[in-house]
Amino acid sequence: MTEPAPVVKPALPFPAPRWEIFSWCMFDFANSSFTTVVVSVVFSIYFTKIVCGGGDDANFNWNLGMAISQTIVLLTAPLLGAIADYSGRKKRFLGASWIACCLFTAALWFVEPGAAVLGLLIFIPANIAFSVGENLTASFLPELAKPESMGKVSGFGWAWGYVGGLVCLFLCWTQISKGYELENIGGLRATSLIVAGFFLVAGLPTMLFLRERARPQPLPPGKGYLAVGFGQVLRTLRSVRQFKVLAFFLIVFFVYNCGIVIVVGNAGIFAEKEMEFSGTEIALLFILLQVTSALGAFAFGFVQDRYGARKTIQIALVLWFVVVLGCCLVREKSHFWILGNIAGLAIGSSQSAARALVGVFSPRKWSAEFFGFWGLCGKLSAVIGPFIFGLADKLSGSMRTAIGITTAFFVLGIVGMLFVNEKAGRQAAFDAEQAPTPGNA
């Protein structure tokens, strides 16, 4: 029996009106509070220094928690994307991940000194929910913007996200500025409640105004969404020869994203442990990071639309290489401030450009599924990267040595991007858009 066609889009405006694109960007604004405050500035340091007591295994435990959460996302992202496409419920899935992340983030308040296991049991599902939402919101991009403007739209969303992280960081300023000390446990724990409330409120415009453009398809007799989802993923895997450029880019993305995940997940820990930054200095550092990241994402969005994503990503990876090499060498705080701002430009441009490039290479009919594979590669890197870094840090006893290993990821990424053919990738997406199923063109 012939399987029914994938999602068919209803007659809604394309490209989307500006107010709807802005509502989509608001999810970037909202969820950046989690990565900024929980992952980078507060909970990562609180967990390693206070919950784990700063022991030899503290950094390893933190990176292990990140790796476990991303492994779960890795295993479920493509299937979830296929089901969301077929059922026409991407927005419902996005809403469920949003609520789950808010609830588990708020629950981090219960993590006290010595409760490392409880901390991981709460952080892991929070990080899973965040990552699922990140994939799903990205999958709306091909429905909202034309290929020639995806760079600007993605760049604006990413830049607006850094503004959101910055706003939430300001809201937590009083709690953070008192330092990462036992005397300030109450303040540090309270930041999780602030982040949860901010994420909940700031995410409302997306839930209210972003429109679902997918229509649910009737299920084949005797099959449920799970079976259909598995079948869709298998078909896409079998048809990978149609999307060779996308497949190769995802491999390159996996490699260099290992390095990005390591830096983002351990930046605050490195600043506190190796550079001896105070709570106020760390907060100020990440405020400047949010500003430069927003500038990088916004400005490089125009660069991408003019010169292409390949060159944009390569420039960003060169900046990343400079940052991680510098972290191995610097001893002065002033030099680290400079490196931090270069990192801001790099992360804003590299992440935004990668999301837009996947959108360009993805047929709109199967955007959630293809962004699920993007998420798979991203989460695989978030498993491998932190694990390698945590192991290197544990074996060497030096964060600087472990950071030095990260340079290899960026070098390989720079070289790999030389072989990404944007024109061929766009053509493959266009050809697949004309075919009834991914494998029948």
Query: Is 241 a domain residue?
Result: yes
The single residue listed with the structure tokens 């760049």 is 155
The residue among 317 and 240 whose pLDDT is bigger is 317
- pLDDT band at residue 106, thresholds of 50, 70 and 90? very high
Quick: pLDDT tens for 385-425: 888 888 888 888 788 888 888 889 999 999 999 999 888 88
Query: Is 305 a domain residue?
Result: yes
- Share the mean pLDDT of the chain: 83
Mean pLDDT within 153-182: 87
Q: Give the C-alpha separation, 58 to 52, whole Å.
A: 6
Query: Is 3 a domain residue?
Result: no
Query: Is 217 a domain residue?
Result: no
Quick: pLDDT tens for 137-161: 887 887 888 777 776 787 788 778 8
CB 63 within 8 A of CB 387: yes
Confidence at residue 241, expressed as pLDDT on a 0 to 100 scale: 62
The residue among 252 and 217 whose pLDDT is bigger is 252
For residue 188, what is the domain's CATH number?
1.20.1250.20
Tokens at 199, concatenated: 């994420």
Confidence at residue 240, expressed as pLDDT on a 0 to 100 scale: 61
Q: Give the C-alpha separation, 11 to 14, whole Å.
A: 9
- Kindly tell me if the per-residue pLDDT of 74 is higher than 80: no
Mean pLDDT within 240-253: 84
DSSP string, 76-102: HHHHHHHHHHHHT-HHHHHHHHHHHHH
- Kindly tell me if the per-residue pLDDT of 352 is higher than 50: yes
Query: Is 235 a domain residue?
Result: yes
Sequence-distant (≥ 6) Cβ neighbours of residue 365 within 8 angstroms: 6, 7, 8, 9, 85, 432, 433
- Kindly tell me if the per-residue pLDDT of 360 is higher than 70: yes
Chain centre to alpha carbon of residue 4: 32
Q: Give the C-alpha separation, 401 to 403, whole Å.
A: 5
Confidence at residue 312, expressed as pLDDT on a 0 to 100 scale: 87
Sign of the dihedral defined by the CA atoms of residues 212, 214, 215, 221, in that order: negative
Confidence at residue 435, expressed as pLDDT on a 0 to 100 scale: 64
Confidence at residue 279, expressed as pLDDT on a 0 to 100 scale: 82
- pLDDT band at residue 291, thresholds of 50, 70 and 90? confident
Sequence-distant (≥ 6) Cβ neighbours of residue 403 within 8 angstroms: 262, 263, 266, 270, 324, 327, 328, 389
* Long-range CB contacts for residues 93-96, cutoff 8 Å, separation at least 24: 93/132, 93/136, 94/27, 94/133, 94/136, 94/137, 94/206, 94/207, 95/207
Mean pLDDT within 270-295: 84
Tokens at 231, concatenated: 């079948």
Chain centre to alpha carbon of residue 107: 22
What's the Rg (C-alpha) of the chain?
21
Tokens at 313, concatenated: 């990503």
Under DSSP, is residue 423 helix (H, G, I), strand (E, B) or coil?
A: helix
Q: In b/e form, how buried is each residue of 31-64, taking b as 16+ CB within 10 angstroms?
A: bbbbbbbbbbbbbbbbbbbbbbeeeeebbbbbbb
Among 114-123, 136-145, 278-287, 345-354, top mean pLDDT goes to 114-123
Mean pLDDT within 40-53: 91
Among the listed residues 433, 364, 418, the one whose alpha carbon sits nearest the alpha carbon of residue 150: 364
- pLDDT band at residue 8, thresholds of 50, 70 and 90? very low
CB 35 within 8 A of CB 234: no
Mean pLDDT within 214-230: 72
Tell me, yes or no, if the pTM score tops 0.85: no
Query: Is 77 a domain residue?
Result: yes
For the chain, the residue count is 441
Q: In this structure, how many other beta carbons lie within 10 angstroms of the beta carbon of residue 245? A: 22
Under DSSP, is residue 254 helix (H, G, I), strand (E, B) or coil?
A: helix
Dihedrals φ, ψ of 254, to 5°?
-55, -45
Tokens at 228, concatenated: 């259909």
Query: Is 307 a domain residue?
Result: yes
Dihedrals φ, ψ of 219, to 5°?
-75, 145
- Please tell me the least confidently modeled range out of 197-211, 273-287, 403-417: 273-287
Structural domain span for residue 125: 18-212+223-433
Confidence at residue 168, expressed as pLDDT on a 0 to 100 scale: 94
CA angle 409, 411, 414 (to 5 degrees): 110
H-assigned helices in 108-209 = 116-138, 141-144, 150-171, 173-177, 185-202, 204-209
Q: How large is the angle between the packed helices 309-329 and 407-417, nearest 10 degrees?
A: 160
Domains held by the chain: number:
1
Query: Is 228 a domain residue?
Result: yes
